[in-house]
């Protein structure tokens, strides 16, 4: 965020700008909001007004940390230096769990959640640069599976409108509690692809984002009166999502995209990938539909393969068939990710069975910091 010169005189006296080598307010701040403030060492100072409150906590990546009351009715917290990348957060005031009005929000954990971008050269690959830019289109289409109008996000590469060419399509899914906007709002898929394309590192492609939360949410909030506190609703989405979402993707969405965009409408030019829950969805749906997909990506996926002969209804039982059908199975996870163990086990079982796949283990936790990098690694391997 840039401040006009006439503002500097006023701003210079404030805490945020008094830090050494200060970058100042985060790029993810609300317009005109001075806090959160990124300090010179990439520690972050949060500051919220709550002048009658007794207990205020910052919920950084959903973990509560007490904030400290200042003399002027604000509550402050300065973190240790944070690594470059993406953070979800919120604020809890006297038991009220909500958001910091100083930052923008996106959908995570099924509700509006603050975002914080800690800057650094590592984020250069998704910066808006002086290169040709694609578009992110919002569309509504009628789903035969659910009977509703569903909103989707579609990235079209630079020059799509001026060209008569047809393009391959990557179907790219978000994680649990997020929605179809996530790969644009949190992931900056458009800038990642724009930059890869400008560098000649990827084939031009269309990217389609659907809402993968097709079952009921895990829990109704606020808790229903009379229902046991914290108990997931029976028959939660975890038991229903695959069949519903499989039908949406295979019967509704792909035909809609192929009818309305200049796509290459065959399996050789179609990929399915996702992160976390979406990685589990992608793995299962692509394996169920080698007729539809030749490329599969699972970023920190919520999945575990223990036995390639029987798991996933036997879709992995014939390694030669899988190797012939899939031009790419990409599997990646962070070393600090709580899902590292089951995903690593999946990699080992695939390897043991002789199922070809790209295995990527990186530094990082269960975070958009990692998933944006995974897209930048995955996309250049598609449609080659």
Nearer to a copy of itself, 141 or 359 (CB): 141
CB of 345 to a copy of itself, least distance (A): 31
Burial pattern 274-299, b for ≥16 Cβ within 10 A else e, equals bbbbbbbbbbbbbbbbbebbbbbbbb
Question: Between residue 246 and residue 285, which ones bind a copy of itself under the rule CB under 8 A?
Answer: 260-261
Nearer to a copy of itself, 31 or 384 (CB): 31
Question: Between residue 137 and residue 156, which ones bind a copy of itself under the rule CB under 8 A?
Answer: 137-142, 148-149
Is residue 309 a contact residue for a copy of itself (CB under 8 A)? Answer: no
Instruction: HSE, CB side, 13 Å, CA atoms: give it for residue 377.
Output: 19
With CB under 8 A, what is the number of residues at the site for a copy of itself?
A: 80
Q: Which stretch binds a copy of itself (CB under 8 A): 36-44, 90-98, 201-209, 283-291?
A: 90-98
Token digits of residue 310? 């029987």
Q: Alpha-carbon Rg of the chain, whole angstroms?
A: 22
C-alpha 308/C-alpha 313 separation (Å) is 9
Out of 24, 85, 102, 334, the only residue in the binding site for a copy of itself (CB under 8 A) is 102
Is residue 68 a contact residue for a copy of itself (CB under 8 A)? Answer: no
Q: Which stretch binds a copy of itself (CB under 8 A): 54-62, 306-314, 343-351, 352-360?
A: 54-62
CB of 123 to a copy of itself, least distance (A): 15
SS3 58: strand
C-alpha 294/C-alpha 383 separation (Å) is 9
Question: Between residue 195 and residue 234, which ones bind a copy of itself under the rule CB under 8 A?
Answer: 213, 215-217, 219-222, 224-227, 233-234
Is residue 93 a contact residue for a copy of itself (CB under 8 A)? Answer: yes
Nearer to a copy of itself, 54 or 63 (CB): 54
Nearer to a copy of itself, 174 or 289 (CB): 174
H/E element, 358: strand 358-362
Is residue 61 a contact residue for a copy of itself (CB under 8 A)? Answer: no
* Pick from 164, 166, 157: nearest CA to 133: 157
Out of 61, 62, 81, 112, the only residue in the binding site for a copy of itself (CB under 8 A) is 112
Is residue 235 a contact residue for a copy of itself (CB under 8 A)? Answer: yes
Question: Between residue 345 and residue 364, which ones bind a copy of itself under the rule CB under 8 A?
Answer: none
C-alpha 214/C-alpha 195 separation (Å) is 32
- The answer for residues whose C-beta is within 8 angstroms of residue 260's C-beta and 6 or more apart is 139
Strand partners of residue 204 = none
Token digits of residue 296? 């599969």
Is the CB of residue 247 less than 8 Å from the CB of residue 145? yes
Listing DSSP states for 264-290 in one string gives: --SGGGEEEEEETHHHHHHHHHHHH-T
Nearer to a copy of itself, 238 or 317 (CB): 238
Nearer to a copy of itself, 35 or 330 (CB): 35
Q: Which stretch binds a copy of itself (CB under 8 A): 61-69, 109-117, 168-176, 358-366?
A: 109-117
Token digits of residue 204? 């031009």
Distance in Å from the first CA to the final CA of the chain: 38
């Amino acid at each position: 965020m840039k401040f006009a010169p006439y503002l500097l005189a006023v701003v210079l006296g404030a805490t945020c700008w008094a830090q050494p080598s200060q970058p100042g307010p985060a790029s993810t701040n609300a317009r005109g909001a001075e806090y959160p403030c990124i300090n010179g060492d990439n520690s972050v100072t949060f500051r919220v007004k709550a002048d009658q409150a007794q207990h205020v906590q910052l919920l950084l990546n959903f973990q509560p940390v007490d904030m400290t009351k200042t003399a002027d009715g604000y509550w402050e917290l300065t973190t240790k230096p944070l690594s470059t990348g993406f953070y979800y957060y919120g604020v809890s005031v006297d038991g009220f769990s909500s958001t910091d009005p100083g930052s923008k929000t996106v959908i995570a954990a099924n509700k509006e959640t603050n975002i914080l971008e800690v800057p650094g050269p590592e984020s250069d690959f998704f910066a808006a640069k002086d290169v040709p830019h694609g578009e992110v289109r919002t569309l509504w289409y009628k789903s035969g599976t659910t009977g509703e109008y569903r909103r989707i996000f579609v990235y079209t590469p630079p020059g799509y409108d001026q060209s008569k060419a047809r393009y391959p399509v990557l179907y790219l899914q978000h994680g649990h509690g997020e929605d179809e906007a996530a790969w644009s709002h949190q992931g900056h898929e458009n800038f990642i692809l724009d930059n890869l394309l400008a560098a000649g590192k990827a084939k031009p492609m269309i990217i389609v984002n659907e809402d993968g939360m097709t079952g009921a949410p895990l829990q109704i909030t606020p808790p229903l009166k009379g229902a046991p506190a914290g108990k997931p609703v029976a028959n939660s989405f975890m038991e229903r999502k695959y069949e519903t979402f499989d039908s949406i993707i295979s019967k509704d969405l792909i035909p809609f995209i192929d009818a309305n965009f200049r796509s290459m409408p065959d399996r050789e030019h179609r990929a399915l990938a996702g992160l976390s829950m979406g990685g589990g969805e992608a793995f299962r749906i692509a394996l169920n539909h080698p007729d539809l997909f030749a490329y599969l990506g699972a970023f920190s996926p919520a999945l575990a393969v223990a036995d390639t002969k029987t798991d996933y209804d036997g879709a992995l039982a014939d390694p030669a068939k899988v190797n012939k059908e899939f031009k790419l199975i990409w599997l990646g996870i962070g070393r600090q990710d709580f899902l590292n163990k089951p995903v690593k086990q999946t990699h080992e079982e695939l390897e043991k069975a002789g199922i070809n796949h790209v295995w990527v283990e990186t530094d990082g936790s269960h975070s958009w910091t990692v998933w944006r990098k995974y897209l930048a690694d995955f996309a250049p391997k598609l449609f080659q």
